[in-house]
Amino acid sequence: MPERDAFAGIRVLDLGSFWAGPYLGSLLGAMGADVLKVEGPRRVDGFRFLAAFPQQGSRWYELSGLFQATNLNKRGLTLDLGTDEGRAVFERLVADADVVIENFSPRVVEQFGFGYPALAALNPRILMVRMPGYGLEGSWREFVGFGNSFEYAGGIGWITGDPDGPPLGPGGYADPLVAMHGAVALVAALQDRERTGRGQLIELVQAEVVAAMTPEPVLHHALTGEVLGRTGSRSAEFAPQGVYPCRGEDEWLALTVRDEADWKRLVAIVGEPPGLPAQRLSTLDGRQAEHDALDRWLFAWTRDRDPAATAALLQQAGIPAAKVLTPAAMYGDPQLTSTGYYQSIEHPLSGIRRYPTWPFRYGDSRDAGVRLAHRFRSPLLGEHNEEILRERLGMSPDEIDELRRRGVISERMLGTDEEKDDGGDT
Amino acid sequence: MAEEPAEGPLRGVRVVEIGQDIAVPYAGRLLRLLGAEVHKVEPPAGDHLRRRAPNGTSAGTGGLFRYLNAGKSSLTVDTAGPDGYALVAALCADADVVLVDEGLGAVAGLDAAVAERTGTVVRLVDFAADGPYGQWQASDLVLQAAAGWVSPRGRADGDPVPVGGRLGEYAAGTYVAVAGLTGWRSQADGPPVRALVDRMSAIFNTVAFDMLRRETLVELGYTQTRYTAYIPGPMPCADGMVAVNCLTGQHWHDLCTLLGVPEYADRYVEMRYDRGDMAAFYAAVRPWFAELTVAETVELCQAFRVPAAPITTGATAPQLPPFRERGFFVAAPDGGLHPGPPFRLRDVPAGALGAAPTLRQRHADA
């Protein structure tokens, strides 16, 4: 289907690490681009070290589910950009590429000599997507950070949590959202290139992306002088609204009473809350005023109930409610599984795993359509070195062996655990 | 009529957005920032976000509405009348991309069928209709709960809380924008594109692969398999709060060296995944943070390449050095302060968007 091939024919060099950069590369690959995952043989993508542990064996850096899930739809190439030979190979690849992605702190690619001006000199049509944490310029240019940091710096952490508790970072959701903003900007830049023939630099400052999605605290302060705080699960517009404990460990139910009609439906199921005047509870203001008491009443009702069955009961009556989805239940979630959200893909070292796909479906069907899927598994480190160097650059087996002998490319991580077998960061 | 950024890369692309509140208007904002012409369709009373305070100096139009809808034109339509639906259909027929909210932000009487002649149409629903939740009622909290966003946020003993600020709506809107633009790109010479995004799986798509992480942790016998956080997290300083989130053992090692607690330096896995005594750790390091300002703490941590960031509020965010130095927040016509574009195309920068449309302002073409 052509709508799933928006980036067919586009060649991408993905220098990304961890999540934001690589996730953009993975989406482009899922939509048809030829994406090369470029890692240093001594400086591999740091996501390889998350949720993977040295006790998993000498090639533990291949086993991270997080790394695999963000690097689907790519081929793998290693290149030591700290060497003249590695830089020369990269320059030849840039000359024939459409897009370069990187999300290091700015000095990293620049110290290799690959800032945008250098890439544009090699290929004026190149589109370089850079995702610095705090900007390519400015006094915080070299500051390190990850999604969690940007969520706090961008203002969403302060307004997440209970009113009487500490601010709590969402948990890194910024990364994939930065990637998706990158996809939007990239389509526009490709359009501009088709019109003008020139490439350009696309900068996505990760803290700015978060701040662009968190406008209310700054707006509110500018217009009223008040600092927005945390409201936990409550809402100014709906009451009661909350997250209530259910039977079992770590089982919770979320529900929202949007209006008086919802309230009547809830009372029809649960019964009248004892000791509270019915008339008062018929209005939003009244329910807000009694929210603590209503929470206690709902706690008492939910605590011995099954959350999924209770959510279904409330939904049947037309009240918004859902079981709180926990990590243990994610693979078994009925909505996700029945709508084909997970895709089973076999990896040569970790076997079959079920990976999240994408929230995009296509087709005329009112109900479903065909989901955008992954095209193929994530690569092993340097898995496609030979294929890429031979096909893209016409290198001979001897030339490729020489790069390998010099440590410019490798199919095993060099300099740390492969030699010492005790791992790096975890 | 809306102003057109002179150099926007999407100039000439016509977008119609049919949706209230945040998600679809945020998608429209992203396309508008890139130069597209965005026409907003509203119910007779206007997008309900217009009525949401605070308003600033613009009586009757909320500040958030103004942020999301700056630079768009607006058409208010009563679809109960004989001509309303036909008017929207005509507007859509002339558009390249139509974005339609059929869920929480729906405009009564309008769905994607109104855009049957448009090249690319993206529908946003709350839950995918072919699953057991297909007909479910939604709210921001309920969607977050169903999509894995309501959690203790890494606290081993905390109750689950949702993400603040209605971030899920911005997430959904971002995916809608991706679907709209990639659809438009692929359909240039091909058949029409009909795309569907559902809020639940858009939000879930941003979860940090907790299911994959848990699978490994359980397999290896670690005790903390429910939720994990990047330790140590928020720390009170002398004049505010700082967040320190160690993603790797190296970060943790360097932080422990900086804090003068080398006995913890090689215990990242234990502390994070395996019943490490974080209470004792916090007791040992709190005085270090309490004596320093936020700025001093961030500088010191960053000197050790440890990811530390201030926890900003609505009052302090605009003064954060990277935002201030880059002029990220800009004064709005109503006295508010708006975040700037989340992306910068260096050769075709976003122009000033101008004001949001007033109610009942009709696009001349319509």
- What is the per-residue pLDDT for B358? 86
- Give residue B63's pLDDT band: very low, low, confident or very high (50, 70, 90): very high
Asked if B272 and B188 sit in the same domain, the reply is no
B189 belongs to a structural domain: yes
CA neighbor of A145 nearest in space, from B153, B214, B342, B322: B322
CB pair distance less than 8 Å for B54 and A219: yes
Is B186 in Cβ contact with A2 (below 8 Å)? yes
Q: Which CATH number does the domain A2-213+358-420 belong to among 3.40.50.10540, 3.30.2020.10, 1.10.10.10, 1.10.287.610?
A: 3.40.50.10540
Same domain, residue pair B194 and B260: no
Q: Is A183 helix (H, G, I), strand (E, B) or coil?
A: helix
Backbone phi, psi, residue A242, to 5°:
-175, 180
For chain B, the domain total comes to 2
- Per cent of chain B over pLDDT 70 is 95
**B139 → chain A, closest CA residue:** A320
Residue A360's contacts (CB-CB under 8 Å, 6 or more residues apart) are A371, A372, B175, B178, B179, B195, B196, B197
Chain B positions touching A360 (Cβ under 8 A) are: 175, 178-179, 195-197
**Best residue in A48, A137, A191 to probe B by mutation, most B CBs within 10 Å?**
A191
The answer on B146 and B36 residing in a single domain is: yes
B331 and B289 housed in the same domain: no
**In chain A, domain spans:** 2-213+358-420, 241-328
For residue B226, give both structure tokens: 């429910």
Distance CA B193, CA A398 (A): 48
Q: Which domain holds residue B58?
A: 14-207+327-338
Q: Please indicate, yes or no, if residue B231 is contained in any of the structural domains.
A: no
Is B142 inside any structural domain? yes
* Residues B104/B21, Cβ–Cβ less than 8 Å: yes
- Considering only the beta carbons, identify the residue of B67, B195, B328 that sits closest to A361: B195
- Residues B107, B182 within the same domain: yes
Angle at which helices A385-393 and A84-95 pack, to 10 degrees?
60
Which residues in chain A have their CB less than 8 angstroms from residue B51's CB?
Answer: none
Render each residue's pLDDT in chain A as its tens digit; 426 residues: 666 799 999 999 999 999 999 999 999 999 999 999 999 999 999 999 999 999 999 999 999 999 999 999 999 999 999 999 999 999 999 999 999 999 999 999 999 999 999 999 999 999 999 999 999 999 999 999 999 999 999 999 999 999 999 999 898 999 999 999 999 999 999 999 999 999 999 999 999 999 999 999 999 999 999 999 999 999 999 999 999 999 999 999 999 999 999 999 999 999 999 999 999 999 999 999 999 999 999 999 999 999 999 999 999 999 999 999 999 999 999 999 999 999 999 999 999 999 999 999 999 766 678 999 999 999 999 999 999 999 999 999 999 999 999 999 999 999 864 433 333 322
Mutate to test the interface with B, among A213, A345, A347, A377 (most CBs of B within 10 A): A213
Of the candidates B127, B150, B307, which has its C-beta nearest A146's C-beta? B307
According to the model, what pLDDT value does residue A212 have?
98
**Chain B residues lying within 8 Å of A53, measured CB to CB:** 216, 220, 269
Residues B145 and B291 in one domain: no
To probe the interface with B, which of A5, A48, A50, A148 has the most B CB atoms within 10 Å?
Answer: A148
Edge-to-edge, what's the strand order for the sheet holding A200-203?
A74-78, A34-39, A11-14, A99-102, A127-130, A200-203, B344-345
For residue B148, the domain's CATH number is 3.40.50.10540
Residue B27 domain flag: yes
B-contacting residues in A 292-331 (Cβ below 8 Å): 315, 318-328, 330-331
Q: Which residues 5-34 in chain A show a CB within 8 A of chain B?
A: 5-7, 18-19, 27, 31
Q: Within an 8 Å CB–CB cutoff, is residue A359 touching chain B?
A: yes
Structural tokens at position B329: 């927040």
* Beta-carbon contacts of residue A369 (< 8 Å; ≥ 6 apart): A361, A362, A363, B194, B195, B196
User: Which residues in chain B have their CB less than 8 angstroms from residue A241's CB?
Assistant: 139, 141
Q: What is the DSSP letter of B253?
A: H
- B334 shares a domain with B291: no
Look at A323 and B313 and tell me if their CB atoms are within 8 Å: no
Calpha distance A247→A240 (Å, rounded): 21
A28: CB partners within 8 A, 6+ apart:
A7, A10, A12, A35, A73, A99, A183, A186
Angle, helices A397-405/A385-393, rounded to nearest 10 degrees: 130
Which residues on A lie below 8 Å from B14 (Cβ)? Answer: none
Q: B56 pLDDT band (50/70/90 cuts)?
A: low
Q: Are residues B278 and B331 in the same domain?
A: no
Reported confidence tier of residue B163, pLDDT bands at 50, 70, 90 = very high
Residues B187 and B283 occupy one common structural domain: no
Residue B318 inside a domain? The answer is no
* CB contacts, 8 Å: A192 with chain B: 9, 345, 347-348
In a domain, B358, yes or no: no
User: Of B125, B170, B182, which to mutate for an interface test with A (greatest number of A Cβ within 10 Å)?
Assistant: B182
Residues 84-113 of A with CB under 8 A from B: none
CA distance A302 to A316: 17
Element (DSSP H or E) covering residue A398:
helix A397-405
- Percent helix / strand / coil, chain A, rounded to 5: 40, 15, 45
In chain A, the residue whose alpha carbon lies closest to the alpha carbon of B323 is A208
Question: DSSP characters for A113-153?
Answer: T-SHHHHHHH-TT-EEEE--SS-SSSTTTT----HHHHHHH
B158 near A250, Cβ under 8 Å? no
Decide which of 3.90.1150.10, 3.30.1540.10, 3.40.50.970, 3.10.20.90 is the CATH code for A241-328. Answer: 3.30.1540.10
Contacts of A345 in chain B (CB under 8 A): none
C-beta neighbour count of A163 within 10 angstroms: 9
> What pLDDT digit, counting tens, does each position of B21-31 carry?
999 999 999 99
Radius of gyration of chain B (CA): 24
B281 lies in some domain: yes
Query: In the predicted model, is pLDDT for residue B188 greater than 80?
Result: no
